[in-house]
Structure formats: C-alpha cells, structure tokens
Amino acid sequence: MSSVIGSPRIAYETDALLSGRRARSQGHQHWTSPYAAKRIHLIGIGGSGMCGLAGVLLRCGAIVSGSDRAAFKAQSRLEELGATIFLGQAPINIPSDCNLVVASAAVKSDNPEYAEAARRGLPLMTYAQMLGEVMKLRTGIAVSGTHGKSTTTALTAFILRHAKSDPTFVVGAEVGQLDGSSGVGDGPHFVVEACEYDRSFLNLAPKFAAILNIEEDHLDYFSGIDDIAGAFADFAGLVPSDGVIIANGEDAVVAKAVRSCRAPVETFGVMPGVYWRAANIEETQGCYRFDIMRGGEFFLRASMDNLPGRHQVTNATVATALAAHAGVSAEQIAAALPRFSGADRRLTRRGEVGGILLLDDYGHHPTEIQVTLRAVREHYAARKLWVVFQPHQHSRTRFLLNDFARSFGLADHLLVPDIYFVRDTAADKAMVSSSHLVERVRANGGDALYLPRHEDIVEHVVAHARSGDIVLTMGAGDVWKIADELTRRLA
C-alpha cells in the first residue's frame, strides 16, 4: 500500500533525501547509448511525441529516417539535425540496412511501411515502447493526466535546465525556450510527457511521476472512467518504492488510482491538508503569484508572470515538486518560474494585425476549453472574443457533445469547421458532425455558426471582426492554419 505524505515528520525525512539526491546530481553523466550508429526509421515522424523521440535518438548518435503523410512544423529542425524525412509513405522509404522501425500510435498494420518492416522481419516497436527503452538510460520523471501534461513537462524540464541540471526531455509540443520538443543533456534526469491513450504510458520507467487529473477522454479506446482510472493505477504501479508520485489531492479518481501503489504519494492542490499546497494566491491581469507550501511549511513564492490562467497554478506546483525531488533548490525553482513562457499552441500569441489579436491553443477537451477561455477573459479584459474551434475526432465529439456545448459560454462568437478526422471509423464519422455541436451551443443561448471549410471561416472573420477583437483558434488538428491565413489576409 502507498503512503500519502502529509505529516511534518515525513517532510523532514524528505528534506534529508533531497539533500542526498542534490549532492549526487552535482556531477553530470555522459550518455552511453546503445543506439549509436544504428539505423532507425520512424513511421509517423511528424507526430508531436515522435518528433521529440527523433531528436533524442539523433543526439544518441542514431542514423534517423522517417516518414509522414504531409509536411509538419518540426520537419526542417529535424532535417538540420541530420534526419532523412520522406513525405508520403512507401516500402522503399525504409533503409535497406535498417536496424529498427518505430511506429506512432496512429499507424496500423496495413500501413505500407509497417507491412514492409514486418515482411522483412525487422524489429518493430511502438513510439511508447521506444521511449520507455531510452528512458531507462536515465532517472525517469513522467508527467501524466488528462490535461496540462505538455506545459507541466516543459516547465519541469525548463526548471532543470535553468538550474544547470542539463536534463533529457521529450514534450508533446514545441517549446521555444527549450529549442524544440526534445533535448538530450548530460544530466541524470529524463523528463517525459506520459500519454494514457492506448495505455502507452505503461511502457515508461519513471522513478518520479505526476498524475495531474483524470477525466473521461479517448473514449474510442477506453470503455469509461473506471477503465481510465485502472490504466492510471497501473501507471502509478510502475513507480518503485524509492520513488515518489505527485498526485492531485482534490481529484477523487486520482485518489482511487494511487490507492494501492507501492511508491509514497505526495498530494497537491489548494485546499488545506495536501502536501504541496498553493496558498495566498494573487491575480493580476490573469497572471498568478502564490506561495507553495511543502508539508505545511513555506517552500517558495511562485510568480507565473508569462503564463496567464488559474490552471497554471497547478502546473507550477507540480513542476516545483518534481524539480525539488530532482535536487533543484527552492531558490533556483523560484527564479525559473517567472521566466517560462509556455509551450507552442498553449494560448500562443500569433500576432496582432489591424488591431485584431490572434491567439492559438491546442485545447480539444471541454475542460481545457473552459480554463483557456477563462484565462483569455482574465488576461485580455473587455475585448470581443471570436473562438474558432475545430473538434478533434468524431468519437470524442459524440461522447462529450453536451460537455462541449456548455464550454463556450465566455465566447462572444463561435465558428466551427468540420471535425478533424483521425483514428475514427466511417461509422463514427456518420454519427456526428460539427453542425450537431453548433445546434447544442445555440440551444444553450450561444452565438455559433457552422462553416465547413477553413476558407469559409477566414472569409467570415475578415468580413466581420473589428479592431480590438480577439480571434482564438483552438483544437488538436490543423486549425492553426486558419490563424496563419488570417495573419496573411488581415495584413
């Protein structure tokens, strides 16, 4: 059974453990990679996690090639690092002397390159399996949860890098301050974003792990919240007894997931009684400053000057806890927090053209939409807000339709293109459309319009948005292209 940490006695013991870890982490360790000079081919290399893994493998000395269906944002960066990338997928893309093929979660067995690798008898691994293998070369830090993974993972890696701990990391988003979505350092820690879809995070090997929250999502794979909680319980079970789990102390599903794990559990939140507590919270134009308490004692004063949104209080608290366990001092953590400006597509400012502010966000779940719109309203008060939301997956849209419909109350105008089609079947596609979401939003009193094509939305915004307005594009698909086109057209 796990022990939930909350007493002063355990806090003192933890201080002693941290001192020992801090001393051991002063000297960097050099990579000894079993992948040096190995030819590794990545199918679906354009995916956010796959890009990061490719970067790590390149730094490990591997000869990396990969393919994807279309061009992607990180393509030029990977090519500059030495990767050979093919657009379009065909058997000939796999090198004749290939040692290993890695496939993203979206790749099926009938993919021409996957089928060719199987025909040739090449070793085949999933993205998560390969990430887990590489993670074993370092002390693993894994960040899981339905929401907030990318920002918290990136912030943890940023703190470690700021403290000269030189971590290796893989984040599911580009991070400008980290020079991409991945990096390989000579320090002892490997920081990873841990995704629950397909139970892929069960391939990881974390010593320190965080569970930010657990909600219904990926219902094309999971049967419901109990199934999801079971997967997170299995993930918690990966952490050894000499590791630590940082768990949401205000989430009943998280409490259930960590109930029987072997590692000690340190809870976090804002309510009294949690081990890592955000207290004395102050807000200025949507940005937050607060104390972080550890075991009832003051640890540091946190300032999130460059990341608006109340949800960043949670992300910063968890990143602080993980960094502390990695041996970073409170002073170093407090110095790093206000310098962090976030991950790409997490309320990213794309520009202001003709007095119209363009923002872009990855949010594609009802909870993410709500906290993001609240952050916009706090940070940019009294400006008319246009939201362009591209639903991601027909199955997710159908299962969470009512929750989505209630999520846009803070938007003045909602524009919805066709659903981004990925991982679903033709039957899924036939059961729901964006027009169903628009009808539900209107029934709730919202102003919503279904415009199927990206071009339709661009034309509508150009015709109706005015100086002083905000246009926020949201979704996990290619809705960011609308922001790009609006930047061009409005200019």
> What is the DSSP code (8-state) at residue 421?
P
**Residue 418 main-chain phi, psi, to 5 deg:** -60, 155
Question: Average of pLDDT values for 316-322?
Answer: 98
Q: Per-residue pLDDT for 31 more than 80?
A: no
Cα–Cα distances (Å) from 62 to 50, 119, 340, 385, in that order, read 15, 23, 31, 47
Tokens of 162: 């700021």
Lowest-confidence pick of 2-16, 29-43, 373-387? 2-16
> What is the DSSP code (8-state) at residue 204?
-
Q: How many other C-beta atoms can be found within 10 angstroms of the C-beta atom of residue 224? A: 10
Domain residue limits, the chain: 4-27+137-339, 39-125, 348-490
Lowest-confidence pick of 25-29, 95-99, 124-128? 25-29
**Separation between Cα atoms, residue 225 and residue 217, nearest integer Å:** 8
Please state the CATH superfamily assignment of the domain spanning residues 4-27+137-339 in this structure: Mur-like, catalytic domain (3.40.1190.10)
Q: Per-residue pLDDT for 13 more than 60?
A: no
Amino acid (one-letter) located at 276: W
Q: Which residues contact 336 (CB under 8 A, 6 or more apart)?
A: 158, 159, 162, 163
Q: What is the pLDDT of residues 177-194, one digit of tens each?
A: 998 888 888 899 999 999
State the pLDDT at residue 25: 36
Tokens of 60: 């490990």
Q: Per-residue pLDDT for 22 more than 80?
A: no
**Separation between Cα atoms, residue 46 and residue 54, nearest integer Å:** 10
At the second CATH level, the architecture of 348-490 is Alpha-Beta Complex (3.90)
State the pLDDT at residue 30: 52
Question: Average of pLDDT values for 476-480?
Answer: 92
Are 233 and 257 contacting, i.e. CB atoms less than 8 angstroms apart? yes
State the pLDDT at residue 227: 97
State the pLDDT at residue 3: 52
Which stretches does DSSP call E strand in 222-296?
Answer: 244-248, 265-269, 276-284, 287-294
Question: Average of pLDDT values for 324-339?
Answer: 98
Residue 198 binned pLDDT confidence (cut-offs 50, 70, 90): confident
- Higher pLDDT pick, 231 / 7: 231
Q: Per-residue pLDDT for 27 more than 50?
A: no
Question: Average of pLDDT values for 455-477?
Answer: 96
Lowest-confidence pick of 14-18, 57-61, 70-74, 154-158? 14-18
Q: Per-residue pLDDT for 65 more than 70?
A: yes
Please state the CATH superfamily assignment of the domain spanning residues 39-125 in this structure: NAD(P)-binding Rossmann-like Domain (3.40.50.720)
Mean predicted lDDT score pLDDT of the chain: 91
State the pLDDT at residue 15: 36
Tokens of 76: 């030029």
State the pLDDT at residue 458: 96
- The helix, strand and coil proportions of the chain, stated in percent and rounded to the nearest 5, come to 40, 25, 40
State the pLDDT at residue 29: 47
State the pLDDT at residue 2: 52
Question: Average of pLDDT values for 207-235?
Answer: 94
Q: What is the pLDDT of residues 128-186, one digit of tens each?
A: 999 999 999 899 999 999 999 999 999 999 999 999 999 999 998 889 999 888 888 88
Across the beta sheet with 124-126, what order do the strands follow?
84-87, 63-68, 39-43, 100-103, 124-126
State the pLDDT at residue 33: 80
